[in-house]
Structure 1
């Protein structure tokens, strides 16, 4: 299997405009299951030869060019490969990755709307992917150089993301008003976003890259900075926020206690 994926990566690296190819996701971290997809980050710069990329994908495979999938996960392809199963090509503009890294080093980050990311796409994911991935094809050595640099989590970014936990409390202030109206949808959205913000803060406090929402809560609850019972308490909030003002109000109150405990733990970390 590894030979097949490495051969594919080498072929992709020969496409004009492609700088290198990185194996990401659970496969790169050794956390995969037999049915897990293979995620290939295809890093490019400038004009990308889409015709050559489509030829490499083979007949019948739709390849989305830059911007075709949205502003952050901006293009790629889904393939089914004999001997591997599902293989996802995900385009990454290397110049944009560098700009995001410069922002991270200054304590700046963005959260953008992106299909497939219900809590939004958090820009530090870009350097995080390179830091945690496995380089498969890198003719010029650019990916390896960045991987070494990105392995060091920026302290300004840590401060910004842990400080950003204030948003969780702000969301719950609005959720309390929605609870009084019995607005289950609004309260549920506020709760999910609040938990997501806390998870990001806990990852940052541990100087750990958080790549997306998948499995993030399960990791966050094990981190040394997490308050007691963080995971079970968060899951209880999200699993059954309630139906009607009384139940929703009680859930929001429990969420406030979790936010307060998490912020206290973050300050102590």
Structure 2
């Protein structure tokens, strides 16, 4: 499949991503293929290939069809197995990688990413992928570069942890009035930002909110029972839970400053 996809005009490389690339998959996990392209992409050819592989018509979302960051792609079922094609603009990935090396990152609104799409996910995906087809060697070269986590990005993500305090302060104002939606959003944001900062501090690529809490809790710098305490707080969503969140934020930020 990767070789056929790589022959589509515009596609420069194809990579296996997600849990199957990292060896953390379950038997029912999807197969995620990243389609790295430059310039104009022949989505008509992609749709024809998708239909051939799936044995039924498949809609292919072109660049921007799935939002500003996830970009586009297709969901297929091939021989009873879920296979996702995910578009990635290689020019944009390289620009983001340049920003990350300079200590700059963005967080954009994106469907499917309740914490927002954190731009370091782009080079993180490359670093963690398995290159399947890459005639020009472009993605392979980029993967070698992203094997080193930039110190400037680490510092930027750790520095961004200040927002967790700000979010807890917002939750504190709303908790006494019973505004559970705002409290839940504030505390989820606080813990999501902490997870990004903790993983960045440890030079671990974070490509998605899914699994971020578990990954952060396994770090040597994580407070004791970090994941359990986050879970208990998000189940509470009352003033006591907000104070627990404040205590946890303080602990993590103190450890990040060490």
Would you call these one fold, judging by a TM-score over 0.5?
yes
Provide the rounded CA distance (Å) in 1 between the counterparts of 2:75 and 2:99: 31
Provide the rounded CA distance (Å) in 2 between the counterparts of 1:166 and 1:187: 18
Cα-to-partner distance string for 1:78-128 (whole Å, 9 max, x where unaligned): 000016x00000000000001100110111111111111111110000000
The match for 2:9 among 16, 36, 46 is 16
Deviation at 1:239, TM superposition (A): 2.4
State the partner residue of 1:118. Answer: 114
The match for 2:129 among 126, 129, 133 is 133
Provide the rounded CA distance (Å) in 1 between the counterparts of 2:33 and 2:218: 28
Cα-to-partner distance string for 1:148-181 (whole Å, 9 max, x where unaligned): 0011000000000011100000011111111122
Provide the rounded CA distance (Å) in 1 between the counterparts of 2:48 and 2:244: 55
Provide the rounded CA distance (Å) in 2 between the counterparts of 1:145 and 1:171: 39
Runs of 4+ in 1 over 2 A off after TM superposition: none
State the partner residue of 1:262. Answer: 252
Q: Note if 1:103 corresponds to 2:99.
A: yes
Cα-to-partner distance string for 1:1-54 (whole Å, 9 max, x where unaligned): xxxxxxx00000000000000100000001111100000000000000111111
Where structure 2 has 5 or more consecutive residues not aligned to the other structure, the ranges are none
The match for 1:230 among 226, 233, 236 is 226
Q: Note if 1:185 corresponds to 2:185.
A: no
Q: Note if 1:65 corresponds to 2:55.
A: no
How many residue pairs end up in the alignment? 254
The match for 1:38 among 31, 36, 41 is 31
Q: Note if 1:172 corresponds to 2:168.
A: yes
State the partner residue of 1:244. Answer: none
What SS does structure 2 have at the residue aligned with 1:264? helix
What SS does structure 2 have at the residue aligned with 1:64? coil
Which deviates more from structure 2 when the two are superposed, residues 252-261 or residues 222-231?
222-231
State the partner residue of 2:243. Answer: 253
Provide the rounded CA distance (Å) in 2 between the counterparts of 1:216 and 1:158: 16
Where structure 1 has 5 or more consecutive residues not aligned to the other structure, the ranges are 1-7, 242-247
Contact 1:205 1:225 in 2 (8 A): no
